[in-house]
Structure 1
Amino acid sequence: MTHRKKVTGIILSGGKSSRMGREKGLVEYQGKALIEYSIDALRTVCDELIISSGNDCYSYLGIPIVNDEVENCGPIGGIYTCMKAVPSDIYLVVSCDVPNITSHLFSNLLSVLDQNEAVIPIDANNKFQPLVACYSSTCLPVFESELKEGRLKMMKLLEKLKVLYHKIPPEVDSNGSNLFFNANTPDDIEK
């Protein structure tokens, strides 16, 4: 009897939102809060969802909020704290400001994880997207080590993992180059 792996979705919303000028995940985009797009994309492929944030403004969503164990450590700190707080086999990570992502994308990432420790999508512009990605629980010690050593760059952390850099197939990327659109400023929202 094979055991089904537990998949937990981590929504990163711990940034300062300085370019947006207010809590980024709550900014309305095409009729709903940015963070709700991330939730919708993860909900059907995850057993559990958690939000990495130092702000309880997301409590209305009914999803557990995990505060960073070590403050001001960026995505590495948020991912590490969530992995430690909620044991799981696999973590799907997404920032709160990418409204065009889909559950189809996350299903695709899960399907190619296999023996890798992480699957990092490559977008239509050939850029790596480590904050819309899939991580195995085996990554936890590397996140912990990088955090303890004060090394907070995701791309450097990835060098220490067995990573599959995965070009997203056209049938998954129906938005073309906009699949990973990142809303950072009020101008981005108005476009």
Structure 2
Amino acid sequence: MTGIILAGGDSKRMGKNKALLDLCGKPLIEWVFENIKQVTDEVIIVTDKPHLYENIPAKKISDKISCEGKNPLVGIYSGLCVSNSRYNIAVACDMPFISISLARAMFEEANKGQHEVVVPHIDGHLEPLCAVYHRETRFLIEDWLKRGKFKIPDIYEHFKTKFLSEKFCLNYDPELYSFLNLNYPSDFDKAKEICKERAKKL
């Protein structure tokens, strides 16, 4: 199993590189890496600035297909192209509280059902940047991208996709913090409060 961390965004809404924001003494991307590495055999960081993450012992790659602006589907495809695993969990670099047990359960669901995609469906929304993708999906994704189509949810009908219910995810992540991504300064403030509360319980 491989983890693919997408760190190629421009962070326009945050106003600075989210991956390097210090959350309770540690950059956001390190939170993600340390969680994901516990359930994977390798970790790949997709970025156009690999020098920023030299201290993280992961493979760094750039996008394999060029497109106008940054696109997460391109990042997922690029990670799948170099992955050594059948199943891969793609996550954003600004999701510091990904549940290890939920990630493991997602891999198990993919494997036992021979699904090509496993994606959570939370509060009426799909979570494509905390989802599992089979390595072979890269071929259809490549064709999709070359035709100028970049919306991730649109591809799911073309694969054997397992949609995980909110109830399923709550069994492994009761607060659903796995899906908290930090787009705005207010999101980062919330993450700091969560971090402090968790520290009190240790």
For normalisation by structure 2, the TM-score amounts to: 0.85
Aligned-partner Cα distance in 2 for 1:185–1:90: 31
Do the aligned residues in 2 keep the contact of 1:34 with 1:98 (CA within 8 Å)?
Answer: yes
Task: Name which of 102, 109, 112 aligns with 1:112.
Answer: 109
- 1:73 positional shift: 5.0
Aligned-partner Cα distance in 1 for 2:175–2:61: 31
Aligned-partner Cα distance in 1 for 2:100–2:184: 25
Q: Which residue does 2:187 correspond to in 1?
A: 188
- 1:32 positional shift: 1.6
Aligned-partner Cα distance in 2 for 1:134–1:86: 13
Task: Name which of 98, 101, 105 aligns with 2:95.
Answer: 98
Do the aligned residues in 2 keep the contact of 1:100 with 1:175 (CA within 8 Å)?
Answer: no
For normalisation by structure 1, the TM-score amounts to: 0.89
Structure 2 unmatched ranges of 5 or more: 191-202
| Mapping for residues 127-146 of structure 1, pairs under 5 Å | 127-146=125-144
Structure 1 unmatched ranges of 5 or more: 1-6
Secondary structure in structure 2 of the residue aligned to 1:49: strand
Do the aligned residues in 2 keep the contact of 1:173 with 1:179 (CA within 8 Å)?
Answer: yes
Greater share of helix residues, 1 or 2? Answer: 2
Q: Which residue does 2:174 correspond to in 1?
A: 174
Q: Which residue does 1:70 correspond to in 2?
A: 65
Percent identity, please: 32
Q: Deviations over 1:66-113 (max 9, x none)?
A: 100223351111111111123321111110111221211110101111
Q: Which residue does 2:157 correspond to in 1?
A: 159
Do the aligned residues in 1 keep the contact of 2:73 with 2:152 (CA within 8 Å)?
Answer: yes
Aligned-partner Cα distance in 2 for 1:156–1:37: 30
User: Aligned pair count?
Assistant: 183
Do the aligned residues in 2 keep the contact of 1:73 with 1:152 (CA within 8 Å)?
Answer: no
